[in-house]
């Protein structure tokens, strides 16, 4: 297997998860199985923003608003 630059990549360096080769530095088999089996609850909240759009400030303000004892 080669990458875009023609460098030979060994598949033993990657985790093969359902046909996808993933770097072991970013994923473990346990984390991939957890993500596969993750269930979303009605009370879960997802904060989705664009990169470089003030996520740190948004996270701080959201944590203040979601915690009534923090105000």
15-42 pLDDT, tens digit per residue, is: 899 998 988 888 888 999 999 999 999 9
Contacts of residues 21-29 at CB distance under 8 Å and 24 or more positions apart, as own/partner, are none
> Apex CA 26: angle with CA 57 and CA 12, to 5°?
170
Which residue in 3, 1, 2, 29 sits closest to 15, CA to CA?
29
pLDDT at 6: 55
Q: Which of 12-16, 33-37, 60-64 has the highest mean pLDDT?
A: 33-37
User: Can you list the positions of beta strands (E) in 20-68?
Assistant: 20-22
Q: Is residue 8's pLDDT more than 60?
A: no
């Amino acid at each position: 297997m080669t990458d875009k630059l023609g460098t030979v990549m060994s598949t033993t360096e990657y985790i093969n998860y359902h046909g996808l080769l993933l770097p072991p530095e970013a994923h473990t088999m346990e984390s991939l199985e957890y993500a596969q089996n993750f269930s979303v609850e009605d009370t879960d909240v997802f904060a989705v923003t664009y990169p470089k759009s003030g996520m740190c400030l948004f996270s701080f303000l959201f944590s203040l608003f979601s915690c009534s004892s923090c105000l």
